[in-house]
Structure 1
């Protein structure tokens, strides 16, 4: 620390003396009271890391004098205090670190140079799938299957636990990464020894899951990054970013009777999406804060990726301290948090002045109404009162071309129906298909809820909505209601603490009465691990070509994500999930229609079983205490007998074998110490032309692996039976599998093909329609570089590094889109794929591009160009020329790109130090 501004100071807490970078001292030179909370965190980070190289006094001054209204233009280097991983994204991180150990040795370095320099914690939460449901032993059966499926991955992670310093693993069957982070791992204020001196500084975090922002609810600044950016942070490389704008959301009032935190966050998501906050920080303030429990704040922070912000943060205040106390943090840690926050001007109470914001939105919490979001985007909020109408409006296009029972394709038109169609105006098949299951007969129609999942970090961290679901279940069971027989129900708490308080209140048993049994501790349905539907239900869906639905308490409902056979997916609070399981259909107005018939023969309405705010408050007060947290997190890294029985190799360098889960990736093949040059691109072909809102779910392999897909054929060729395919997410450590699944989402639409859904493209020279992977390999054999064309919001969704890695390995050199989601653009740069944007008002369609042209991208100037020229040549020899923006936004990004990516940059730096 250079300490140009003379801000080093000391703070004594708990009898210990901490050094810290004093914002109060810096405030004698600059007016820091006008800075939002999040900007103060950035400022402290720069002060503490000022070294004249990565961080200069000029950058410190730029943040200290931040102009709220200015467009971001100044680059700063941010270094998080720690990194958190989940296993789907974490396994490839550890694979890459293992591969880097091999590579650094080949470049003349030492394997142990590749080691996390900041604390890293990986939580295994993405691997459990809902194979078994509706029974008391569902949890045990699912965990047993999980360990069988993931033996190779878990063995590798156990090796990493031994081989790398500062790397800890939270074993399976513990909880969801963001909830474990909130309830246990977050420090809020770090107290760590640096160069022999004890320092206090804000807890900041990078996570390889976009919902890392959940921790913003506790006053911790952090956000989701790609695996490659996380690896760079783990290896001591700061992240380059532009000083952001900060949007303030002023909250007033309090939530009304019967309104949940889920309703609130869906409202906030819609508001902020409409405003446009991509690349911006969002900060919540105002008198309404005092009416929001910490869990409600965490729910709002969690969904920052859905409203598009980098973070959605709340300040440290008394409520934060109350939560730290409730969740079993030590008195010493709580005292440090309070003392540090107050001495640094990071403490918030009603006397805190309102800082400057780039924009301010206002929300009266009393205006929030019961809501859902769907059928395919989290920002598409629908009032509960309008949910049936929304379903009827969106189902028509999904059923316009439908197979008859005899298999013939018949377009349903407004011709008065044909018996099976109850509402021909929008082609809703209400009469449905007759299904027999477990001795019961019932009719399955459009809008049938076939999946009802209480799942996901967003809501399972919130006792109000979880206990609310339990109270609703208790009331429903008392009236003789239970989930309809076609509904696959599941209860996947975010931590064992949730199970404890549900058991303590007796509500776990009540949830079981309506068929919500504990299935596992993990993300499950929210990330597509919903497991197979019962065969009878699948057959009914196929026979009627039905548009069925899922209702889940998650944060993501993108096309093809939840389940391949489910076309409509709605996000809802846990109590609403339970209610829709009881109703069994979306084709109902829960605000007016009976949800079912009680055992006494009388109709039961939602209002009859909905929990009151007082009932929920009473349940919370009597159910949750610090001892619960202390007990469940006492040995959080130890694991159970299954985990500890897994054999794993020893040694600093991993012994690669022929695993179909773990493989040494090709990123460093042929790499030398010589730095390359950014060359112009000539003679490229389009691998795909896509429209707006192509998400990382569309790009990155996720969910089930089909046996007739390129990845499925590869695994079969390796002797893996389809029943053992597991999921793409579980095989993220093997590039051979993942590259074959890139752009293979069943719902993606490549505009180079007419009316074709799924991962296909046109190999232009031959005119063949091929799987995207097969076409890419054909182009690779022909030594033809590739480009991708896309519309607005390209790469929204989870921070999946494989969306960038797979793109690179397919041979894509550049992606030209109307706009990019922040994380995905950064990931493309980190993998050496050039991101470019069309000029305003232009896109592939306005320019008349079909994707059948060849593409030259020139004028890149070794990566320094802000603008490049694209020249396209059609089959008849005609040419078009247009300019694009080169989205290498900072000097550091341009340097990474010249090296071929972040990892190559770090390798050369470390190997160079060893050689010197």
Structure 2
């Protein structure tokens, strides 16, 4: 945090708990900007950031004045601003490649004759190792220990590298494996709501803000911390002192009234809101919750809503500071001085929630919480809401329309060596998984109570269901054990499997072999039910086609039912010891039961004890030996390798190069996610990445996941566009990462074709449809794209984070205009594409692309360059944001 010039004289002081803090007062610009009290609180955070960093160069008074114009223009003024978050949050899947890039930048700095130690995070960075545990073992008392043991076996090389980074870089902390997920550690410990920093003799107070290398960084919006997910590329720039270039966003006000009814959970609420906001259309916008209903939500409920912001499509889903914020800070063990500062600062800055003043919003929508009913979402998108009462019909529709197997409904198939059969809609995976819900004791206590009541009546999970429980925090174990509920969950197979992201990101682990064989041999459309936030195709498990999001207590109920064909609201789950039918209503807890246990069993002392020495790690972590040195030694490793981004780089910026005669690598449809583009999940033995690993003497058992190998570009570029469910329309009905090598007409893997085109000297383009690149903030979706030789991606619409990441790696994002699409143009992939005007590119410039068809016909198409700002153009000119930063530091 570096104070700017403060030419508007907004710096002042406040007192809290006997201490004096300096801060930049919004009240001091009201005469200049107008009634800033009517700004949404999330924009007040951005305005304060402008006041604090105003220096006449990166942040100008014009940027500050733009917030006044936003008010005058009824909540719309998309002016570019330079925003600097207080800190950066990373998880290890996305964090490892970011640290790899930092290490590579140190090497590059050395090769340019400069001091490598110029490369250091300038903003505080916390990396939480939370994405590497896999559910190899489940349903047993020792599942957790065995999974952790396998985690360390698989990831030793990555963990050695991260330990080196922790010692080599200043301002960089690592939370060791087995602590919890980054978002919950952020919520429970790292986040402060109001941040402080020393500058000279002063202590400055300002809003806690962050960017994270995971799209669900927005979970901390529930704690009134303004944060959102960015690509690893943007995060690296932020921690190297570069501002995040953004446009002042539209802000959608979401008014909440009433309170949740008996039987409805926070999960039901977020799935309802997800559907509403996806229908509304909030991509690239802020969402801010307001209204009296907010007062009836716990902070954990608010964090559950915040977490789902990427599923809405919004940049964030923000809640202002109020008494509930203070309660949570106190319960979670924050210092009393900090809590006093949060209250004093929020009230001084007009950032305290006040239902008597309705901010000016760009647009609003409203939900009466009392109308929320139990729901699930699926089979492949979080916004595909299905009423619980209609869940079997929802699956039946998918079985027909998605999987084309309606004629096999109800048919059962043998499972070798087992006394049960499998059919379409049977549940292969039931997982209480990390971040969306395990911030929330209410739904976890509810799951435990469902398990307790079911156990007492003699019910159990079906034997074909792989159950797992991976909470996001060790505190969860403490309160479940104090409530004596963990034994009940264990009895139904929901034993602890790890503290981290598991099923939700594809770390589901193998299904039992006989079950997997039956699914594959009979081409079954089986289901997963999970309490996560993502259920995209191919994400959860390669054997599982239909994925449904549900609350933790419903996950337990579905494990008992064993099939999506069971209507939980009307069909019996099973029979008790006397043979009488047991229904969901018989084992569903009341709100009073849940609240009573939460009040008794969730204590401040639990948080304080768990986080007292959070960076120390267990004996396994402490035993890892990591070398020192200002640059990394890059030992031979299939996990971590020095990337080629800076090979041959000079301090001078070259001219922009035209895109001439580009071949088409892929024609992709609508809603192609970063999960489809970026390597994710298991590595198949016969895939290019699998063949690479086998060529380096890695047996298939040790392949691990793509996510764990994000530090090795050779593995990752081979897995780009290789999702098992991606459909390249250049091929008829083929799923997976394949394309046509046009010169010979041969079908081959996308990686192999890209390498042949590279040998030919042919640049590449990829065509997409609507919502290209939506989903997680996966930097490898962009890194893999450029390493394959793709110069431009052409689409109808694109998600914010992926567009930014493409530019950050030097790929040109181009948007169709005038209703055009690759389908309307009749493209087959055999065409050549030349884009005119790249050499003189300006932000938001319209360019002409000439498409030459296989028969020699030509057609000119107008494309909009989605380089929206001058900073983005600088990054693109330099070949990427890292090159830009490196040249700037070197000069």
TM range (shorter): over 0.9
Q: 1:370 aligns with which of 355, 360, 374?
A: 374
Q: 1:55 aligns with which of 38, 50, 59?
A: 59
Question: Offset at 1:196?
Answer: 4.8
In 2, are the aligned partners of 1:481 and 1:598 still within 8 Å (CA)? yes
Query: 1:12, 1:28 → 2: CA distance?
Result: 24
Question: Offset at 1:513?
Answer: 1.2
Task: Name the structure 1 match of 2:651.
Answer: 673
Query: 1:40, 1:881 → 2: CA distance?
Result: 45
Task: Name the structure 2 match of 1:46.
Answer: 50
Deviation string for 1:42-63 (max 9, x for gaps)? Answer: 0000100011111001101112
Question: Offset at 1:845?
Answer: 0.8
Task: Name the structure 2 match of 1:432.
Answer: 412
Query: 1:61, 1:698 → 2: CA distance?
Result: 41
Question: Offset at 1:429?
Answer: 3.9
Task: Name the structure 2 match of 1:872.
Answer: 851
Question: Offset at 1:863?
Answer: 2.3
Aligned counterparts, 1:337-352, within 5 A: 337-351=342-356
SS in 1 for 2:467: strand
Q: 2:177 aligns with which of 172, 175, 181?
A: 172
Question: Offset at 1:198?
Answer: 1.5
Task: Name the structure 1 match of 2:530.
Answer: 552
Question: Offset at 1:905?
Answer: 0.4
Query: 2:649, 2:477 → 1: CA distance?
Result: 50
Query: 2:568, 2:416 → 1: CA distance?
Result: 27
Q: Does 1:805 align with 2:783?
A: yes
Q: Does 1:243 align with 2:221?
A: no
In 1, are the aligned partners of 2:70 and 2:77 still within 8 Å (CA)? no
In 2, are the aligned partners of 1:831 and 1:902 still within 8 Å (CA)? yes
Query: 1:710, 1:390 → 2: CA distance?
Result: 37
Aligned counterparts, 1:405-444, within 5 A: 426-436=406-416, 440-444=418-422
SS in 1 for 2:46: helix
Task: Name the structure 2 match of 1:762.
Answer: 740
Q: Does 1:748 align with 2:748?
A: no
Q: Does 1:18 align with 2:49?
A: no
Task: Name the structure 1 match of 2:393.
Answer: 389
Q: 2:218 aligns with which of 198, 210, 213?
A: 213
Query: 1:432, 1:735 → 2: CA distance?
Result: 44
Task: Name the structure 1 match of 2:190.
Answer: 185
Q: Does 1:606 align with 2:579?
A: no
Query: 1:364, 1:863 → 2: CA distance?
Result: 48
In 2, are the aligned partners of 1:81 and 1:203 still within 8 Å (CA)? yes
In 2, are the aligned partners of 1:683 and 1:854 still within 8 Å (CA)? yes
Q: Does 1:791 align with 2:769?
A: yes
Summarize the Cα distance change of 1:201–1:753 in structure 2 as closer, same or farther, 3 Å threshold: same
Query: 1:69, 1:245 → 2: CA distance?
Result: 10
Query: 2:148, 2:512 → 1: CA distance?
Result: 19
Task: Name the structure 2 match of 1:9.
Answer: 12
Q: 1:447 aligns with which of 425, 431, 449?
A: 425
* TM-score (normalised: structure 1): 0.96
Question: Offset at 1:27?
Answer: 2.2
SS in 2 for 1:65: helix
Task: Name the structure 1 match of 2:840.
Answer: 862
Query: 1:289, 1:769 → 2: CA distance?
Result: 55
SS in 1 for 2:37: coil
SS in 1 for 2:407: coil
Q: Does 1:906 align with 2:885?
A: yes
SS in 2 for 1:105: helix
Query: 1:367, 1:13 → 2: CA distance?
Result: 41
Q: Does 1:689 align with 2:667?
A: yes
In 1, are the aligned partners of 2:76 and 2:362 still within 8 Å (CA)? no
Deviation string for 1:366-421 (max 9, x for gaps)? Answer: 11110000000000000000110010111124553xxxxxxxxxxx7xxxxxxxxx
Summarize the Cα distance change of 1:72–1:286 in structure 2 as closer, same or farther, 3 Å threshold: same
In 2, are the aligned partners of 1:399 and 1:428 still within 8 Å (CA)? no
Query: 1:218, 1:523 → 2: CA distance?
Result: 21
In 1, are the aligned partners of 2:69 and 2:77 still within 8 Å (CA)? no
Query: 2:96, 2:403 → 1: CA distance?
Result: 40
In 2, are the aligned partners of 1:399 and 1:427 still within 8 Å (CA)? no
Q: Does 1:778 align with 2:775?
A: no
In 2, are the aligned partners of 1:452 and 1:581 still within 8 Å (CA)? yes
Query: 2:102, 2:324 → 1: CA distance?
Result: 39
Task: Name the structure 1 match of 2:88.
Answer: 83
Aligned counterparts, 1:312-331, within 5 A: 312-331=317-336
Question: Offset at 1:70?
Answer: 5.9
Deviation string for 1:293-322 (max 9, x for gaps)? Answer: 000000000000000000000000000000
Deviation string for 1:3-29 (max 9, x for gaps)? Answer: 121101112223332211111222243
- RMSD of aligned Cα (Å): 1.1
Task: Name the structure 2 match of 1:268.
Answer: 273
Q: Does 1:650 align with 2:628?
A: yes
Task: Name the structure 2 match of 1:819.
Answer: 797
In 1, are the aligned partners of 2:527 and 2:544 still within 8 Å (CA)? yes
Query: 2:262, 2:584 → 1: CA distance?
Result: 14
Query: 1:238, 1:766 → 2: CA distance?
Result: 47
Q: Does 1:853 align with 2:831?
A: yes
Question: Offset at 1:752?
Answer: 0.4
Task: Name the structure 2 match of 1:283.
Answer: 288
Question: Offset at 1:860?
Answer: 2.4
SS in 2 for 1:588: coil
SS in 1 for 2:503: helix
Query: 1:843, 1:543 → 2: CA distance?
Result: 38
Deviation string for 1:564-598 (max 9, x for gaps)? Answer: 00000000000000000000000111111001111
Q: Does 1:884 align with 2:884?
A: no
Query: 2:456, 2:671 → 1: CA distance?
Result: 45
Deviation string for 1:191-245 (max 9, x for gaps)? Answer: 1113553111110000000000000011110100000100000000001001100
Task: Name the structure 2 match of 1:121.
Answer: 126
In 2, are the aligned partners of 1:159 and 1:649 still within 8 Å (CA)? yes
Task: Name the structure 2 match of 1:717.
Answer: 695
SS in 1 for 2:630: coil
Query: 1:526, 1:34 → 2: CA distance?
Result: 39
Q: Which runs of 5+ in 1 are unaligned?
A: 401-411, 413-425
Query: 1:656, 1:667 → 2: CA distance?
Result: 16
Summarize the Cα distance change of 1:814–1:196 in structure 2 as closer, same or farther, 3 Å threshold: farther
Query: 2:592, 2:818 → 1: CA distance?
Result: 52
Query: 2:860, 2:780 → 1: CA distance?
Result: 32
Deviation string for 1:52-99 (max 9, x for gaps)? Answer: 111001101112331454655310001000000000000000000000
Q: Does 1:579 align with 2:557?
A: yes
Q: Which runs of 5+ in 2 are unaligned?
A: none
Q: 2:144 aligns with which of 134, 139, 147?
A: 139
Task: Name the structure 1 match of 2:455.
Answer: 477
Summarize the Cα distance change of 1:428–1:256 in structure 2 as closer, same or farther, 3 Å threshold: farther
Question: Offset at 1:545?
Answer: 1.5
SS in 1 for 2:573: strand
Query: 1:435, 1:441 → 2: CA distance?
Result: 8
Q: Does 1:104 align with 2:109?
A: yes
Query: 1:71, 1:668 → 2: CA distance?
Result: 40
Question: Offset at 1:108?
Answer: 2.2
Summarize the Cα distance change of 1:474–1:16 in structure 2 as closer, same or farther, 3 Å threshold: same
Query: 1:909, 1:309 → 2: CA distance?
Result: 32
Query: 1:427, 1:219 → 2: CA distance?
Result: 51
Summarize the Cα distance change of 1:436–1:476 in structure 2 as closer, same or farther, 3 Å threshold: farther
Q: 2:36 aligns with which of 22, 32, 37?
A: 32
Q: 2:709 aligns with which of 723, 726, 731?
A: 731
SS in 2 for 1:594: coil
Task: Name the structure 2 match of 1:419.
Answer: none
Question: Offset at 1:427?
Answer: 2.0
Summarize the Cα distance change of 1:889–1:72 in structure 2 as closer, same or farther, 3 Å threshold: farther
